[in-house]
Structure 1
Amino acid sequence: MTQPRKPDCSPFLISPLFFSPPGGGIVDQVRSALEHAGGVVLASFGAGNVPSFDWLQEAVKEASKREVLFLNCSQVFKGVVVPIYDVSSAGVVSGRDITPEAALTKMIWVLQEDLSYTERKKLLGLDL
């Protein structure tokens, strides 16, 4: 009789972060969360814009250099992310019309695949 295979799972955490004006520890909270992240789903405003704080743009760029995946989706009902905002140039993949729930599911699926960072990033931008 064969032994059941032990699942190869990485720790998983969903950490909602809400942006308000800098202060109250939000900068440290975001930097700390990005330090240990494999992937991040951004639930942005309207057509994909997030707060334009310099520290946030830098944190996303730094995390992208460490091969943290970013997928941007709109929190607006029937919203569409247009990749023209600063976060797109920082390495964030546009989820176009994906819902936040589908974006989270997609991120989880892509992260568990045995692929390179480039292949994972490409998959995030495709309809699966």
Structure 2
Amino acid sequence: MNITSIHHIAIICSDYTTSKDFYTNILGLKIIQEVYRTERDSYKLDLSLNGVYVIELFSFPNPPKRASRPEAQGLRHLAFEVEDIEETHGYLQDKKIFTEAIRIDEFTGKNFFFIEDPDKLPIEFYEK
């Protein structure tokens, strides 16, 4: 086996329009392709970051809610690396996104903080 990279992360949202706006207009991911699958009553939105395919955003009728935050079994959070943690923090606050305080990773000494997407999925921003 020869794994070369992570291909993508799939996220199921409760409100497709709100989540599409969040991931494209707030976080700045670019749309590669958007399709509506009639047989599933479901949208699938392929998103890229710096030209690299990273997220599949899905809508499904009545998806179950996330069990808890963030220590439920399964995916804990999504993390993005950023050049300037303070600039990113301020940008998100200007967009009226609730941001946790910037903290320091005790093992690396790097700064990081968390927000939540529209469905309360924890998203971390981690200093490069």
TM-score by length of 1: 0.23
TM-score by length of 2: 0.23
Task: Identify the structure with the greater strand proportion.
Answer: 2
Task: Identify the structure with the greater helix proportion.
Answer: 1
